[in-house]
Structure 1
């Protein structure tokens, strides 16, 4: 089943390119509609299909790759009231334009807030600690495989996303539950955020 991506900005495009390069089928969407993504699909190849937000949200794995301030409207555009245990991958960080100030989370981890927006989903925090140019680059470097951190409250969902990351070529490191692992990888503030680590062969 294809991977759905909601958001076709720098992060969404970077992940779409890596997934397609690894042999995955990808359904990508944005707020402007499928027609606006034709050039991206032409550059990436036939395994990338432009779609509506609702179509992207209907896949087994759905990646949220939108700015924090647009997250609510992006999820609303999916028009899903029960995510029925689909895996939702949260790539977001709780800050963004215009001022790039960290959002007030009231002491919670950002992915715990995101989980509340997608009832019934198995949420996994992943792909948020590296900038888009690094995410989009070949994860196999001369020094080893780039490390991707992930965390979530559903073990099997974590394992599924880890398998996907390893198939792409990343070294997936599971940090455990959102309350703990999510805090470690959250940007800003998390000690693992923005670290460009590689795992030796």
Structure 2
């Protein structure tokens, strides 16, 4: 299973560090030339591979770590996203709920990425927290996952565990997805909840 992170701001870099800590290769891309952020990628670790957007979207699993408003532009990179899993790490803070499909930011993203399986996840933690090693206080930092596709949620849950996190599935996008999204001037109830699970 190949992975890519689209977006290399604070959240994209924090995700890249999670992969680097475990020595797992991941492509990183923006709309810019890869050479413009190659040094930053190299500073994180040798398993962080800068690529063009066109190259990065060939991955099986794509972490969408761009501003919510930018997701339609990324979605244009492929005519169909069939066979791919999109992990929606965006937050639609400041976007009116009236502009969102079923008032769900994740459903908007799912609609843009035609044919993809979508998992809302890794977006409830601030970049500074996501940036840290998830092994804390003898437990593992929790990441919440919501999806209308159980298989995709299981796939990303297994990847989250490989990255050292403890995944908790919240159900579908219309239920669990609303708990971990921002929209308008409000945050879902689980946004910024930094929880640790002990086995």
Name the TM-score, length of structure 1 as normaliser: 0.91
Moved over 6 A (4+): none
| Contact 2:65–2:88 (CA under 8 A) maintained in structure 1 | yes
Work out the CA distance in 1 between the residues paired with 2:197 and 2:57: 32
Deviations 1:128-168 (A, max 9, x none): 10001111100011152111000101111100100111111
Q: Which stretches in structure 1 are left out of the alignment for 5+ residues?
A: 96-100
Equivalent residue, structure 2, for 1:44: 44
Superposition deviation, residue 106 in structure 1: 5.6
Equivalent residue, structure 1, for 2:176: 181
Equivalent residue, structure 2, for 1:32: 32
Deviations 1:40-69 (A, max 9, x none): 122022211110112111101001000112
Matches within 5 A, 1:75-154: 75-76=75-76, 78=77, 80-95=78-93, 101-104=94-97, 105=100, 107-142=102-137, 144-154=139-149
Work out the CA distance in 2 between the residues paired with 1:13 and 1:103: 28
Equivalent residue, structure 2, for 1:53: 53
Correspondent of 2:195 among 189, 193, 197: 197
Count of matched residue pairs: 194
Equivalent residue, structure 2, for 1:98: none
Q: Alignment partner of 2:37: what SS?
A: helix
Work out the CA distance in 1 between the residues paired with 2:125 and 2:23: 22
Equivalent residue, structure 1, for 2:7: 7
Q: CA RMSD in A?
A: 1.4
Equivalent residue, structure 2, for 1:17: 17
Deviations 1:73-95 (A, max 9, x none): 2322x2x1111121000000102
| Contact 2:89–2:121 (CA under 8 A) maintained in structure 1 | yes
Q: Alignment partner of 1:172: what SS?
A: strand
Superposition deviation, residue 194 in structure 1: 1.1
Q: Alignment partner of 2:171: what SS?
A: coil
Work out the CA distance in 1 between the residues paired with 2:137 and 2:148: 34
